[in-house]
Chain A
Amino acid sequence: MSMDPTQTLDVKGQNCPMPVVKTKGAFDELGAEETLEVVATDSGSMSDIEGWAESTDGATLLDQVEAIENGEDVYKHYIQKAE
């Protein structure tokens, strides 16, 4: 499923709390209706980013995808900013 992200944030190799903290930073820089892709290797980011998006005004979690890239588990999150 392609989400056509406007920005991609790479937080591979970073553990809690960094994926959420950096997602927040990148989300703040996002323009209206733009989509942020977050690529993480921290499996905890699945529930952490879901919870963060739920509690954050203007953030919509479009999708979360689990994949294997270059032999490592990656977790991708797609977050859209409201108008």
Chain B
Amino acid sequence: MSTETSAGSEGSLSDEEIAKLQARVDELESELADVQSEVGDSPKKMVIIATKGTLDMAYPPLILASTAAAFGYDVTVFHTFWGLEILHEENSKELQLSSVGNPNMPVPNAIAALPGMDRVTTRLMENRIEDNDVATVESLIQTSLDSGVDLQACQMTIDLLDYDEDDFYDGVTTGVGAASAFQEMVDADIQLLV
């Protein structure tokens, strides 16, 4: 039995081939190091698309956004359609809640549909929010902005609803569209539609 490895036999590599492979390994290692440093350096990212403008639905995006910022995430909330109401300085203080079509509310639809009932259910909810020490929408917006959350107002919907850029809270990003939201989502670790 021979333990000798046969140099020059079929299957062995020439010096030139070995050098080539070594160069390739070096190249891949340096690429891997680049990728690793890129992943390690950049913070994680979350993007939320907020489309609803009722009092109850204003909360989930704002609570998640400020919480994710506390976890060190880069957070963008892109507000479109009725989600714009949350960023509208005046309207955000008067967000409504309706019992119509909401089986979780203790009011039958036939009564909930009567004029003025949205005002009643909204008032009830506002009282509960206050009694339970839940922050107001306004203060959550301020907290989010202070935590570095990028609150964006979709330009197309601003035009569609005939709003002005000055209608929104200071610090809100305007002049952005679907493409920039999409780009943010591509790079994000978490993407949510609310």
A residues with CB within 8 A of B: 13-18, 20-21, 23-25, 41-42, 52, 55-57
Contact = CB atoms under 8 A, between A and B. Distances in A.
A21 B132 contact: no
A25 B66 CA distance: 11
Interface of B: 63, 66-67, 69-72, 132-135, 143, 147
B66 A15 contact: no
A25 B143 CA distance: 11
B23 to A, nearest CB: 37
B17 to A, nearest CB: 45
B133 A13 contact: yes
Contacts of A55: 71-72
Contacts of A15: 132-135
Question: 10 shortest A-B CB distances, which residue pairs?
Answer: A24-B70, A15-B133, A17-B67, A17-B63, A21-B70, A15-B134, A21-B66, A20-B70, A13-B133, A17-B66
